[in-house]
Structure 1
Amino acid sequence: MKTIEDLKRLREQLKSQNSVRHEGGPQIIVGMGTCGIAAGARQVMTAILEEIAKRNLQNVKVSQTGCIGMCEKEVLVDIVRPGEPRITYGKVTPADVPKIIAEHVVNGRVVAELAVGKITE
């Protein structure tokens, strides 16, 4: 990479690859760093997997990530629906999971009282 044009081409290529990776269905990403685990991320992850199985949502991908630096907001759960901004929910408990799945994952409506961030790209 030697010019700004090279950098711009690389950026567009990576954006294209990233959009392909997000096609196909919603993604749920659970913060599973030590701070998240200490706040209850394992229980939230279990509740998410159970709710997805109960609703037979076969196109939903569930993954985990490490700490993103918002430890005071743990348990963090991100929802990424194709073509929509990525929404981060904070202080999620197992009791919040059915509402997040029903409202946001299934129906596309952000649960505003739990949302702590939005990433548009």
Structure 2
Amino acid sequence: MPKLTVEDLKKIKEEYKAKTALREGKHRVKVTVHMGTCGLAAGARKIMDVILDEISNRDLADVVVTTSGCAGLCSREPMITVQVLDSPPVKYCDLNEEKTRKIVEEHIVGGNPVEKLALVQGCETSY
């Protein structure tokens, strides 16, 4: 087993900080990818990969990504929920790579929900 360098330890520290940010509440945006059996069958894994790639490529350290089970709307999978700090959550459905990248650009980075792609905002607002 190779010895750890100071740079290795710094990298491990940064990875740990990113993983624990959710528990400590240090994030601006929380993205939940619904990954129940129905979501996985509909392509949720690819949606998760696109989100993680976009976050990494844009160096968005204040965005945390979590997973959940089925959201109860199996026919509308794959789905994500985007919760921007101090804003109601927005649930997006029937996603593909292109739609997901648009959500990252406009909602997660820009702060503006993509109404055309949204299923609901908050608890009662339908688009």
Same fold (TM over 0.5): yes
Taking a change above 3 Å as real, the CA distance of residues 75 and 37 of structure 1, as seen in their structure-2 partners, is: same
Question: Which one of the candidate residues 43, 48, 65 is aligned to 1:45?
Answer: 48
Higher relative contact order (CA 8 A, sep 6+): 1
Residue of structure 1 in register with 2:97 after alignment: 94
Kindly indicate whether residue 94 of structure 2 is the aligned counterpart of residue 114 of structure 1: no
8 Å Cα contact 2:46/2:97 also seen in 1: yes
5+ unaligned residues in a row in structure 2: which ranges?
1-22
SS across alignment from 1:113:
helix
Q: Deviation per CA, 1:62-92: give whole Å up to 9, x if none.
A: 0000002101110111000000010000001
Shift of 1:21: 6.6
Residue 86 of structure 2 is aligned to residue 80 of structure 1: no
RMSD between superposed Cα atoms in Å: 1.9
AA aligned to 2:104 is I
Measured in 2, the distance between the counterparts of 1:46 and 1:74 equals 15
Amino acid at match of 1:36: G
Say if 1:76 and 1:88, in contact at 8 Å, map to a contact too: yes
What is the SS of the residue equivalent to 1:68? coil
**TM norm structure 2:** 0.75
Tell whether the 8 Å contact from 1:44 to 1:97 is kept in structure 2 after alignment. yes
Q: What TM-score, normalized by structure 1, do the two folds share?
A: 0.78
Q: Distance in 1 between matches of 2:86 and 2:31?
A: 15
* Overall identity of the aligned pairs, in %: 36
2:58 maps to what in 1? 55
Partner residue, 1:103: 106
